[in-house]
Amino acid sequence: MQKSAETAQTVIKTQLTGYDLVNKPMLNKGMAFTERERNVFRLHGLLPPHVGTIEEQADRRLKILRAFSTDFERYAFLRDLQDTNETLFYHVLVHHLEELLPLVYTPTVGEGCQHFSEIWRKPRGLFLSYPNKHRMREILADPRFDHVRVIVVSDGERILGLGDQGAGGMGIPIGKLSLYTGCAGIHPELTLPILLDVGTNNRERLTNPLYIGWRHERIVGTEYDEFVEEFVNAVIERWPNVLLQWEDFAGTNAGRLLQKYRDRLCTFNDDIQGTAAIAAGTLLAAINVTGISLTEQRIAVLGAGSAGCGISSLLLRAMVDAGLSEAQARKAFYLVDRNGLLVEGMEGVTSAQAPFVQSRETVAGWGDASNHIGLLEVMQRAKPTVLIGVSGQAGAFTEPVVRAMAQNVERPVIFPLSNPTSRSEATPQQLVEWTEGRVLIGTGSPFASVQWKGSAIHVDQTNNSYVFPGVGLGVLATGARRVTDAMFMVAAKAVAAMSPTVKDKTATLLPPVDQLRDVSMAVAKVVARQAQEDGVAERCDDAIIDERIRAIVWEPKYLPYELAE
């Protein structure tokens, strides 16, 4: 892009004309090409004679979108729009975030991944398949990717709460990067979705004649690790300063891959760190209502995988910052996995779970003959003030569990965070009824408001989109070399600081979804400053950081075109 001396506007110069121009999603303007541009770029006849505006086009697309009968149809329609006219897609998304966020990402993206093979039409992102491992550097070398600064990568093994979707998992990187642009304004040409296609153990996918991925069982062990190592090395060589986000890897790989590579490139895992930050931010907002300080919280977490441990680790650090010793803070956590409450001496406890095991002395007399301590007994014995679900088990927060919690806490804080909606540990309606309307709720996917005694109770979507786009923007603005845990802590506090409960205890816990761009800007600023404090970015004045952030943010609108020589 260059500045035009005559108009002082930003213009786009391109050599593409005719079909080549309108078939490039990032350059296509449809009927909004002006008469001058139609003359210069030989577009007459390819387009209807009417010269329209982006606002008219948005209205036309929204009318079609709203006429569909299912959200999956709307998801497929939006994917087609993104692959046809990218500027228009983002214009619609930015101006209708609350309506479109559930379609572009959770919960509808889950169904999109399940049926990705059926709706795939045009290339977007890269499929790096195991049989092509020797071509990896050749694939990444394409000049189209010269400007890439943010990568989201998945291997499709643990898509939301839906499990192994193989190559269909590409829907997740595409959706996440759409939110980097929609919520934080990072230009689409700076982003690249990648799917590591290492096979799938999903028999339904393997036997589907339309499946687009590598028809092979998942590679594991040394072969898998060597493939990922080759990928990371190729990325570092191609883009030494790229931000790489790991997304929806299985619990057996998510944490260890993050630990293995976090000091080799600028990288984070959103399922671990982003989920932790938004859970912490929402809890801090809830404290404005409950009046129970962070140091007095007792936190039960159902699902002690990468997400559950990530949430617990960040909240533990927040408790220590608030004045507790680490030993005191650890005692406040009750992590329940498939084998019950984590207790010292249990077999199979991972290094990530180890800090949160309860002592045998604490739980003496708890459990059954097999020493299994379930969630209900944790509610009855530990009397937690907070209950968080990242189990992927629909209905796991049963009525007895919730009522037991509500008996001991005036304003129970309950976050069923599992995605998509079909995997939520409880519905908001159930939680409101079982707590007689006293519950404070945060859900992973969007839910409609709940009616209780003639009043509508808003349900906050405790979604990572409040955090990761701003983290990415802050990293890009400073050129940070690494992503630190402290960046997610300040991101959580920034979200909490924007909570409407700061001024009104009866208000929602989180800012409205249509304010996500403002939230991302606030998160970006504190993350950028924290990067400097942590020594992973060069120091500069706050005014310079703010200017760099503003310079990155892209507004989806049509620009004048000029023919390049």
Render pLDDT for 293-313 as a digit per residue (tens, 0 to 9).
999 999 999 999 999 999 999
* Secondary structure in 3-state letters for 334-384: EEEECCEECECCCCCCCCCCHHHCECCCCCCCCCCCCCCCCHHHHHHHHCC
- DSSP H/E element including 256: helix 251-261
| Residue 140 pLDDT exceeds 50 | yes
Residue 198 confidence (pLDDT): 98
Render pLDDT for 351-369 as a digit per residue (tens, 0 to 9).
999 999 999 999 998 987 5
User: Is 105 in the active site?
Assistant: yes
Render pLDDT for 473-498 as a digit per residue (tens, 0 to 9).
999 999 999 999 999 999 999 999 99
Q: Report helix angle 86-95 to 71-82, nearest 10.
A: 130
5-14, 15-24, 122-131, 344-353: least confident range:
5-14
Amino acid making up residue 299: I
Residue 2 confidence (pLDDT): 36
- DSSP H/E element including 110: helix 108-114
Quote the percentage of the chain above a pLDDT of 90.
94
For the chain, the average pLDDT equals 95
75, 90, 105, 261: the catalytic one is: 105
| Residue 3 pLDDT exceeds 70 | no
> Can you tell me the mean pLDDT for 136-156?
97
Cα–Cα distance for residue pair 371/244, rounded to 1 Å: 42
DSSP type of residue 181? H
**pLDDT band at residue 371 under the 50/70/90 scheme:** confident
176, 334, 558, 561: the catalytic one is: 176
Do residues 517 and 466 touch, judged by C-beta distance below 8 A?
no
Domains and CATH numbers, the chain: 2-52 (1.20.1370.30), 114-264 (3.40.50.10380), 273-464 (3.40.50.720), 466-552 (no CATH)
Do residues 257 and 228 touch, judged by C-beta distance below 8 A?
yes
Side-chain-side CA neighbours of residue 131 (13 Å)? 6
